[in-house]
Structure 1
Amino acid sequence: MGSSNRIDGWKAIGGHFGRDRTTVMRWAQQRGLPVRRLPGGKTGTVYALRDELDRWAANQTNLNEEVPDGLTETQALPVATPERSFWARNWRRLAVVGLMGLAIAFAAGTILMSRVASPAQTPALPSDPAVSALYLEARDAWAQRTPASLTRAISLLTTITRKDPGFAPAWAGLADAYLLSREFGITPDAEAFPKAKAAAETALQRNPELGAAHRALGFIAYWWQDDPQTAGRFFRKALTLSPRDAQTHFWYGNILSDNGQHVAGLRELNTARLIEPGSVAIQTDLAWAQWSAGEDAEARQALSQLMQVRADFPVVHDCTSLIKLADGDYVGYVQDLGEFARLRGDPELIRHATALRDDLKTGADAVQRRLMQYALAEIAAKTRRTHVWPVFLASVAQNRQQVVNLLKAAETRGEKWGEAGLTARIARLWMDDGEIAASLRRLKAAPVE
């Protein structure tokens, strides 16, 4: 869930920093701003990667200093290598030193470059222009977040890892693509998580300092391995390495919110939104986090606005369906679930939603029975990992005995729950019931941070 990492053209690159095109052209020539040509593009066709620009900016000082005017786009385009960055930063000093000083400076530069070119440093793009073009296409496909685009991203990234197996970002991107593919019904969890884990671990073998790979392993630790504390460590490492990576703030905010650490979760999600204010995915999950935190009015308003501008985004309907069910609105739930299933393109979910729509002709009790049967069947098949959902269903139906029985089954299995949005509603519905409240406390997962 996020937008493209690529920025095209001098004007857009300037906009990333809140500056004009001339300023970033100056930075490219004199400060080594990592700007590149599109493979096969014309002279003035350039692009940059957001995370690379942010890493560069974090190491700069006094970006407001004045430099001479008169640069052209061709002159401004650097060769984005350690050598280019070194000479661009030190040209004034080198111009006034004598031959001995130049020799010393050159030696220092050689030492510096040998450190920068260590195995932990991965280039932003593959060295082969054709493979670079495939990688950029793959990242754009991943950012579109549709079943078709994610399938395309996985195919492209798999090809890139074969053509350039040493390029760590392609392996991290493949992990990301597999993780999103499960959310869109393309790949089942049992297949997606192991493949994503293998890809992320391969990325770290190629570059142990690649933040995106740590992020993917944090996501896996939380959502697959039920280990929130390990997940937190991975995410914090990722943010140390890439402090302005919107996707990392986004996914970290998700797990914090799911874990019930609402202040921290909203902090991270709002940070992600500041970095990528146009991301519908971030805005949607921020609204869900608000609902989970009890900020009902704000969440409903945000989702309503998103529905008006991006009714084609599946996750919006997923969120609204659950909120309606929490209100006891079975009709609204079935309608929104059906739209979510259609947009997601998941045949099994479409069949389930269709059956629920037929049940509405009989009444809400028939819908409730089917939902419970389906949820328990998923637990038996191990495609649903905890009893949170059936306990939520039983709570909405006000079936206390069923709630108690399901909670006991969850404790017997040693489950530890996140799902803070649903568990908060369960707790609210049984706020005066000491037995249920105690069970919910015992099932609470360890904190992420």
Structure 2
Amino acid sequence: MGHESPAILERLNGWKAIAAYFGRDRTTVMRWARERNLPVRRIPGGKQGSIFALKHELALWAMHDDEVALSTTPTVGAEPADRGVTDPVRSPSPGARKQRYWAWVIAALLAIALAGLFVLITKQRLEHDRLSKGPHAEIPALALPGNPAAARDYIAARDRWARRTPQDLKAAITLFEGVIRREPTFAPAFAGLADAWLISREYDEVNEPTAYRHARYVAERALRLDSKLPAAHRALGFIDHWWNGKTPSALAHFRRALELNDADAQTHFWYANVLADTGDDTAAQREYDKARLLDPGSIVIEVEQACSQWQAGRDQLAITQLRALARRSPDDATIYNCLAWAEISRGNIRGYAQMLSKRAHLRGEKQLLQASAALDASVRRDPSQAIHVLVAEGRREIASGARRFRDTPAFFASAMGDRAALVQLMTEAVSLHEQWYSMPVTRRIAARWKGDSEVERLLAALVPKPPANANSG
């Protein structure tokens, strides 16, 4: 069914508005309705039906009634003077009537043409948006494999992934792999498997190199199968920022994912994390809020948003919110990781060790437990020397391939005032052409060593220009 343009169907409600349209009084247009068939309509109901008219009908009526309507110029919104029932209709000269007649004809034709153009442009824009977003644009999360068994396992895999326990993540990976065996061209299963590997770094014992290697492989497979799959772009954005150090590429992937599907909480959430780490606090908070609106009650998102307060320099607010979250969700290891960073940024390595210990015991990861125990022992012996244990652990991670950049151990050294360790780590990073995109880290190093020419020179070589997030403001 066709639809009339809103511009053509603009409605005037009541005698007063109709009179204002013609620049006349109410009694005159009421007389025109009685005597000259002025096209007014009545809405049934009550003792007196409500009166309204459509502008395009009034214009057409006016064009065919020289003696009446063309004697005035319609005025929208003007309040006419009340001239009384006996006010005569002014009768212009024949030449003036002819000029006004053709003016009305041209105006009416222009209105119809513009309305048609508006409808055409709107339809073309909607069609362009639909085509540009691809087959997964509207509700990509609802896509299912054609095989009933694969569809059942795919739903189960997503459920297990969302629970985020080590056992559930292992089960999710197995289920996603089973779906892929049954439906090797179903791209969302590859993207789901990528997400499961990425989350396993945080909630299971999978090490960083293994998780990122598997995640990248299957995310790229997903993108080859469907270049417009938002979840594939999201996974690659996550990998590019947090592992590859290719933040501009990461931001481009996230923006593309949101262009394809702006209603995905996970995409807004992970994008917010990257924005917070690159120092774009305004955009990050906006994305966190969107994620929470799309996924109400998510403790995972709430924790990371609280952590982002520390990243933006609002340390006390972050600590207050994180402690409140710890009381509500005492088994969430991420809370203690965020609190650990907040503590060491204040030079409190004892507080850092306490939070690290809680996180390690909740995770149950062997290497993390060993690192925590070594730090605890060092703090008990001599807190002033405990920073060397942290720096040594960072170097061990780099040597084993579990860490790719030196910004974290450098930040720890900076926070604890160990300039020698800081300069050594920064010098190594510059020689290896590292780029440190984490603004919460580099800003605090810069503030701590302001006026130190050597640290400032090294930092200038390590910190790239701010990426164009295109989301601030």
TM-score normalised to structure 2 length: 0.67
Give the 5 Å matches for 1:327-338: 327-338=346-357
1:375-398 deviation per Cα after TM superposition (whole angstroms, max 9, x unaligned): 122223332212212222221221
1:235 to 246, 250, 254: 254
Describe how 1:159-178 pairs up with structure 2 within 5 A.
Answer: 159-178=178-197
CA contact (8 A) 1:120 1:206 kept: no
CA contact (8 A) 2:387 2:412 kept: yes
How many residue pairs were aligned? 335
Look up the match of 2:228.
209
1:314 correspondence with 2:314: no
For 1:270 and 1:129, locate their aligned partners in 2 and report how far apart those are by CA, in whole Å.
36
Instruction: Answer yes or no: is the 8 Å Cα contact 2:315–2:342 preserved in 1.
Output: no
1:419 to 438, 441, 450: 438
Match of 2:94 in 1: none
What SS does the corresponding residue of 1:360 show, helix, strand or coil?
helix
Computing the radius of gyration from Cα coordinates, the structure with the larger value is 2
**Alignment of 1:187 onto 2:211:** no
2:247 matches 1:223: no
| Range moving further from structure 2, 215-224 or 392-401 | 392-401
The alpha-carbon deviation at position 146 of structure 1 amounts to 1.9
CA distance in 2, matches of 1:156, 1:333: 38
- Alignment partner of 1:430 out of 422, 426, 449: 449
Contact 2:134/2:260 (<8 A) preserved: no
1:271 paired residue number: 290
Instruction: Assess, with a 3 A threshold, how the Cα gap between structure 1 residues 400 and 358 changes in structure 2: closer, same or farther.
Output: closer
Amino acid at match of 1:272: A
CA distance in 2, matches of 1:360, 1:435: 30
Using the size of structure 1 for normalisation, the TM-score is 0.70
**Which residue of 2 is the match for residue 374 of structure 1?**
393
Bigger Cα displacement from structure 2, 399-408 vs 346-355: 399-408
Identical aligned residues as a percent: 39
2:425 is aligned to 406
**Aligned-partner Cα distance in 1 for 2:134–2:415:** 55
Q: Deviations over 1:293-345 (max 9, x none)?
A: 11223212221221111111110010001111112222221111111112122
Question: Could you tell me which residue of structure 2 aligns to residue 354 of structure 1?
Answer: 373
In the TM superposition, residue 120 of structure 1 has moved relative to its aligned partner by 4.5
Judge conservation of contact 2:134–2:228 (CA < 8 Å) in 1. no
The offset of 1:183, in angstroms, is: 2.2
Q: What is the rounded CA distance, in whole Å, between the counterparts of 1:170 and 1:323 in structure 2?
A: 37
Q: CA deviation at 1:185?
A: 4.4
What is the Cα deviation at residue 448 of structure 1?
Answer: 5.1
Query: What letter is aligned with 2:400?
Result: A
Q: Give, as a single letter, the amino acid of the residue that structure 2 aligns with 1:208.
A: S
Distance 2:461 2:198 in 1: 29
Could you tell me how far apart the structure 2 residues matched to 1:200 and 1:382 are?
A: 21
Q: Which has the higher contact order (CA 8 A, sep 6+)?
A: 1
1:363 to 382, 386, 393: 382
Which piece of structure 1 moves more, 160-169 or 391-400?
A: 391-400
Letter in 2 for 1:334: A
Q: Distance in 1 between matches of 2:216 and 2:421?
A: 37
- Please, which runs of 5 or more residues in structure 2 have no aligned partner? 1-126
| 8 A contact 2:209–2:401 mirrored in 1 | no
Query: How far has the Cα of 1:248 moved from its partner?
Result: 0.6
Matched, 1:297 2:328: no
1:151-190: CA deviations, max 9, x gaps? Answer: 1111111111111222221111001111111223432222
CA distance in structure 2 between the partners assigned to 1:329 and 1:414 by the alignment: 31
Q: Provide runs of 4+ in structure 1 moved above 4 Å.
A: 118-123
Contiguous gaps of at least 5 residues in structure 1: 1-111
Residue number in structure 2 paired with 1:93:
none
Change (3 A) 1:277 1:448: farther
Report deviation, 1:268. 1.5
> Which residue of 247, 257, 268 maps to 2:266?
247
SS of equivalent to 1:243: coil
Letter in 2 for 1:300: I
For the 8 Å contact 1:259–1:445, the answer to whether it is kept is no
Q: Are the equivalent residues in 2 in contact too, given 1:147–1:345 (CA < 8 A)?
A: no
Give 3-state SS (helix, strand or coil) of 1:127's partner. coil
| 1:356-377 residue CA offsets vs partner (Å, 9 max, x unmatched) | 2222321213422211211122
Q: Distance in 1 between matches of 2:238 and 2:468?
A: 12
Change in Cα spacing, 1:271 to 1:119, as seen in structure 2 (3 Å) is: closer
Cα distance in 1 for residues equivalent to 2:445 and 2:343: 14
CA contact (8 A) 1:146 1:184 kept: yes
Question: Take 2:182 and 2:134, find their aligned partners in 1: how far apart are those partners?
Answer: 19
